[in-house]
C-alpha cells in the first residue's frame, strides 16, 4: 500500500482529488501501469492520474465539463497505446468495459499484458479507421474516446460513433497530425464545424496547454 492521503470524489464519478492532484481507485492493488504513485485511504488504494501523461486528466484539470463515463459505461477507446489513459478509464468503469484499439504491434504487446490483469479491458490490434474489421468483437458502445495522433481524426471518430451507435464521443485532436502548416486554433475550429455539419452537438472544446502542446479535447453528443 502507498502512503496515506485524504481525498474526495470530484463531480465526475470515479475521479478523486486531494484538491490538487487527480486519482482513480486502483482496480489492481499494488500494481502500477506507467510509474504513477500509489496512495491509500483506509482500505482503498488510489493511483495518481497525471495530466502530463494523460490528455483526459489534462482535460479535467483544465476545467473540462463533460465526462460521459460512470461505473457501468461501455467505452470504445481508439489509440490506446500501452494503456496509460485506458487503465484509468478501467478504474472508473468498474462494471463496464473498455475496448482498446491500437495499431502498433509494439504498444499492443504491453496493452495485452495490462488487459490480462484487468477484467474490463479488451485489447484489439486494428486500424481505427476501419471499424468494420473489429465490429464483430465490439457491441453496445455508449462512448467513443479517441487519441490516435494521425490524419483525418474527425472522420475516424464519426465513422466509429456511427458504426457502433455511440451517444457520445471525446477526441483529443493533435493539430500537427492534421496539418503542420495550419495554426492549431484553426484546426480545432475546423474540426468543430465539421462535427456540427455531420449532425453532432459539440459540448466542449478545451485546448490542452500547458500539459499538451497543440492539442485540444473536443466532446460531442449525438443530437
Residues that bind ligand SAM (CB under 6 A): 54-55, 78-81, 84-85, 101-104, 107, 127-129, 147-150
Q: Which is nearer to ligand SAM, 55 or 118 (CB)?
A: 55
Q: Name the nearest CA neighbour of 222 among 164, 138, 174.
A: 164
CA 14 – CA 170 distance, rounded (Å): 18
Minimum CB separation from ligand SAM for residue 156, in Å? Answer: 7
Minimum CB separation from ligand SAM for residue 43, in Å? Answer: 28
Q: Which is nearer to ligand SAM, 28 or 149 (CB)?
A: 149
Q: Which is nearer to ligand SAM, 116 or 196 (CB)?
A: 116
Please give the backbone phi and psi of residue 149, each rounded to the nearest 5 degrees, phi first.
50, 55
CA atoms within 13 A on the CB side of 161: 24
Q: Which is nearer to ligand SAM, 155 or 196 (CB)?
A: 155
Minimum CB separation from ligand SAM for residue 19, in Å? Answer: 24
Minimum CB separation from ligand SAM for residue 41, in Å? Answer: 25
Q: Which is nearer to ligand SAM, 150 or 194 (CB)?
A: 150
CA 60 – CA 51 distance, rounded (Å): 8
> Is the preceding peptide bond at 9 cis, omega within 30 degrees of 0?
no
Residue in the shown chain whose Cβ atom is closest to ligand SAM: 79
- Pull the grid cell for residue 109: 504487446
Minimum CB separation from ligand SAM for residue 6, in Å? Answer: 27
Q: Report CA dihedral (100, 8, 2, 28) to the nearest 10 degrees.
A: -30
- Pull the grid cell for residue 127: 486500424
Amino acid at each position: 500500500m502507498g502512503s496515506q492521503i485524504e481525498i474526495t470524489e470530484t463531480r465526475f464519478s470515479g475521479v478523486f482529488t486531494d484538491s490538487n492532484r487527480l486519482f482513480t481507485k486502483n482496480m489492481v492493488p499494488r500494481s502500477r501501469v506507467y510509474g504513477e504513485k500509489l496512495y491509500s485511504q483506509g482500505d482503498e488504494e488510489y493511483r495518481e492520474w497525471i495530466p502530463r501523461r494523460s490528455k483526459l486528466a489534462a482535460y479535467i484539470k483544465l476545467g473540462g465539463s463533460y465526462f460521459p463515463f460512470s461505473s457501468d459505461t461501455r467505452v470504445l477507446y481508439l489509440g490506446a497505446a500501452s494503456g496509460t489513459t485506458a487503465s484509468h478509464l478501467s478504474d472508473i468503469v468498474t462494471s463496464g468495459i473498455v475496448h482498446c484499439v491500437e495499431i502498433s504491434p509494439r504498444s499492443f504487446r504491453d496493452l495485452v499484458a495490462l488487459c490480462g490483469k484487468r477484467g474490463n479491458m479488451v485489447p484489439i490490434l486494428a486500424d481505427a479507421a476501419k471499424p468494420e474489421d473489429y465490429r464483430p468483437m465490439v457491441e453496445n458502445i455508449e462512448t467513443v474516446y479517441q487519441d490516435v495522433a494521425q490524419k483525418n481524426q474527425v472522420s475516424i471518430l464519426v465513422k466509429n460513433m456511427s458504426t457502433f451507435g455511440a451517444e457520445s464521443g471525446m477526441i483529443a485532436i493533435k493539430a500537427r497530425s492534421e496539418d503542420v502548416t495550419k495554426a492549431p486554433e484553426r484546426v480545432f475550429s475546423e474540426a468543430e464545424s465539421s462535427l456540427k455539419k455531420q449532425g453532432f452537438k459539440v459540448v466542449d472544446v478545451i485546448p490542452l496547454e500547458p500539459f499538451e502542446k497543440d492539442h485540444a479535447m473536443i466532446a460531442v453528443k449525438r443530437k
